[in-house]
Amino acid sequence: GNSVTQMEGPVTLSEEAFLTINCTYTATGYPSLFWYVQYPGEGLQLLLKATKADDKGSNKGFEATYRKETTSFHLEKGSVQVSDSAVYFCALTHNAGGTSYGKLTFGQGTILTVHP
């Protein structure tokens, strides 16, 4: 079956530091890959996505590249801010149809805390 593994957290950084959160996956075929972010007390928001190999998703200064050869989708940001403090989830899905019906498989989440 499908699975997603994220680096263990929590991650604590100072403002303007470089961020990497590792994500690797196991899936058949060609899944779509996502990073979702959950701010304190809120639901999940889509941060970025990539739907095929070598695609780079980007949003709000965050980037992730779909690497099929290493089955990875690592999240990076060059300079984090206090407002980036949140829980980050890596996830995958296959397109709707077939037997997957677009179900998301999530990693366990990584808590990021950024200090001033």
Partner 1 sequence: NAGVTQTPKFRVLKTGQSMTLLCAQDMNHEYMYWYRQDPGMGLRLIHYSVGEGTTAKGEVPDGYNVSRLKKQNFLLGLESAAPSQTSVYFCASRTSGQGPEQYFGPGTRLTVT
Measured in degrees and rounded to the nearest 5, phi and psi for residue 83 equal -70, -10
With binding defined as CB under 8 A, does residue 98 bind partner 1?
no
Kindly report whether the peptide bond that precedes residue 10 is cis, defined as omega within 30 degrees of 0: yes
Q: Give residue for tokens 């950084």.
A: 13
With binding defined as CB under 8 A, does residue 57 bind partner 1?
no
Stretch that binds partner 1, among 11-19, 59-67, 72-80, 94-102 (CB under 8 A): 94-102
Stretch that binds partner 1, among 17-25, 62-70, 78-86, 95-103 (CB under 8 A): 95-103
Our CB check for partner 1 shows the closer of 71 and 100 to be 100
Q: What is the DSSP string of 62-105?
A: EEEE-BTTTTB--EEESS--GGG-EEEEEEEEPPSSTTTTT--E
- Judged by CB under 8 A, the chain residues 24 through 43 that form the site for partner 1 are 32, 34, 36, 42-43
Residue type, 65: T
Residue type, 18: F
Shortest spacing between CB 14 and partner 1, in angstroms: 25
Give the residues lining the site for partner 1 (CB under 8 A).
4, 32, 34, 36, 42-46, 49, 51, 89, 93-97, 101-104, 106-109
